[in-house]
């Protein structure tokens, strides 16, 4: 392991965004611009974001969704969490004249503000809601298993369950379109070393088998066979609807607050108590990185924030010490562990996704697999 002086000496930060060597796989060109900036320009923006902004693309998509949904109770499904992106997606779908069914995954960690935001939004927009309440004992055991596995991926189980539930509900309603709040403008990058495996059921199952105590009998799952069933046989499409718009976060916030009486919760993904604690306490303290870097860098790439403003925002303390301590006590109590057990897990040697079995290891040519995935999504 490198000494402290060496780590300080080797530290670098991008000259364009605020990504730095807290991502161990980051690279820099001769001008000091990082690999994430180049990926956004060359892959994400160039091949996906701008392509979907072709004249008439949105209108054609909406016409298609309406036509295929004719005679059905709903023509699309949307996920709602109470956060900015999912709430704005709900707002947009109604403005576009669609008939969405909103789906919410209750994993036991919703903040009161998130619940209030969901209720006010859907009531105002007159959107029906289906809530999937996860089996708490199973889920608690799975979250503990991930903490014991000592990877920075403890949010993977929730993300995986949301993915699975959205497809399940859409299939049960015979709806062919899932409109996602995920978008290029505010989520234009990802850091593999920080988190991966969201759709990898083998990875989740392997963690639970090694560190858990309860079988995952009812936990929503999404593996390769179900992927083929939904996308090839059922021909369902996952649409990032906000990529078809000029999605600007500040403007979206103002719209939601003005028209839906929606309230902001402090930072990205902080509508969940566990997410707030995991991202604001566990990740920086144990793994040495802060996801705010990639979130703010995405706003730089999409032209919504200057590098200087992003640096100022990053330096702000949006997780007050008293709230942090309150969340810590709540999380420990809800997970039914002692403070000593929690600290023991915090002291475990950090591991990574690659230390455990996964489908990604099987698909050793994963880029080829993902090319097939995107091809099928366009069909």
DSSP code, position 221: -
What confidence tier does 88 reach under pLDDT thresholds 50, 70, 90? very high
CATH class of 53-378: alpha beta
What confidence tier does 373 reach under pLDDT thresholds 50, 70, 90? very low
What confidence tier does 26 reach under pLDDT thresholds 50, 70, 90? very high
Q: How much is the mean pLDDT over the chain?
A: 90
What confidence tier does 89 reach under pLDDT thresholds 50, 70, 90? very high
Averaged pLDDT for residues 1-17: 66
What confidence tier does 102 reach under pLDDT thresholds 50, 70, 90? very high
Biggest distance spanned by C-alpha atoms of the chain: 67
Write down the pLDDT at residue 304: 93
Percent of the chain with pLDDT over 90: 76
Domain map (residue ranges) of the chain: 53-378
Residue 374 has pLDDT above 60, yes or no: no
Model confidence pLDDT, tens digit, residues 146-159: 999 999 999 999 99
Residue (of 248, 270, 285, 300) closest to 13 by Cα position: 300
DSSP code, position 244: G
Write down the pLDDT at residue 185: 84
Model confidence pLDDT, tens digit, residues 192-230: 999 998 889 999 999 999 999 999 999 999 988 898 999
Q: Looking at the chain, list the stretches that DSSP marks H as alpha helix, in order from N- to C-terminal side.
A: 4-10, 35-39, 57-68, 84-95, 112-125, 136-149, 156-172, 201-211, 224-228, 249-260, 273-277, 292-301, 307-315, 321-334, 339-347, 359-362, 366-378
Give SS3 for 132.
strand
Residue 1 has pLDDT above 50, yes or no: no
Q: Which residues pair with 100 in a beta bridge?
A: 76
Residue 317 has pLDDT above 80, yes or no: yes
What confidence tier does 8 reach under pLDDT thresholds 50, 70, 90? very low
Residue 14 has pLDDT above 70, yes or no: yes
């Amino acid at each position: 392991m490198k000494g402290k002086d060496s780590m300080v000496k080797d530290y670098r930060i991008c000259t364009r965004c605020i990504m730095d060597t807290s991502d161990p796989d980051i690279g820099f060109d001769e001008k000091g611009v990082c690999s994430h900036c180049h990926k956004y320009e060359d892959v994400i923006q160039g091949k996906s974001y701008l392509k979907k902004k072709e004249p008439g693309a949105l209108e054609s998509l909406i016409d298609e969704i309406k036509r295929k949904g004719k005679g059905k109770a709903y023509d699309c499904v949307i996920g709602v969490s109470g956060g900015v992106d999912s709430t704005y997606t709900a707002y947009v779908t109604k403005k576009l004249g669609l008939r969405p069914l909103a789906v919410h995954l209750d994993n036991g960690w919703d903040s009161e503000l998130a619940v209030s935001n969901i209720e006010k939004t859907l009531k105002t927009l007159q959107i029906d809601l289906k809530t999937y309440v996860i089996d708490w004992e199973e889920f608690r055991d799975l979250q503990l298993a991930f903490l014991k596995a000592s990877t920075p991926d403890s949010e993977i189980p929730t993300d995986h369950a949301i993915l699975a539930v959205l497809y399940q509900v859409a299939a049960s309603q015979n709806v062919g379109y899932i409109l996602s709040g995920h978008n290029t403008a505010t989520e234009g990058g990802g850091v593999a070393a920080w988190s991966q495996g969201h759709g990898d059921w083998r990875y989740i199952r392997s963690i639970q088998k090694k560190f858990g105590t309860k079988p995952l009998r009812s936990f929503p799952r999404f593996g390769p066979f179900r992927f083929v069933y939904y996308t090839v046989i059922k021909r369902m499409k996952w649409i990032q609807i906000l990529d078809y718009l000029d999605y600007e976060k500040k403007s979206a916030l103002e719209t939601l607050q003005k028209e839906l009486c929606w309230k902001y919760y402090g930072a990205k993904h902080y509508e969940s108590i566990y997410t707030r604690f995991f991202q604001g306490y566990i990740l920086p303290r144990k793994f040495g990185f802060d996801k705010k870097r990639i979130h703010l860098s995405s706003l730089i790439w999409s032209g919504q924030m200057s590098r200087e403003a992003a640096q100022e925002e990053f330096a702000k303390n949006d997780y007050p010490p008293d709230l942090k301590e309150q969340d810590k006590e709540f999380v420990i109590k809800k997970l039914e562990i002692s403070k000593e057990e929690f600290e023991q897990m915090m002291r475990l040697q950090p591991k990574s996704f690659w230390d455990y079995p996964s489908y990604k290891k099987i698909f050793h040519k994963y880029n080829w697999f993902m090319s097939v995935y995107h091809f099928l999504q366009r069909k």
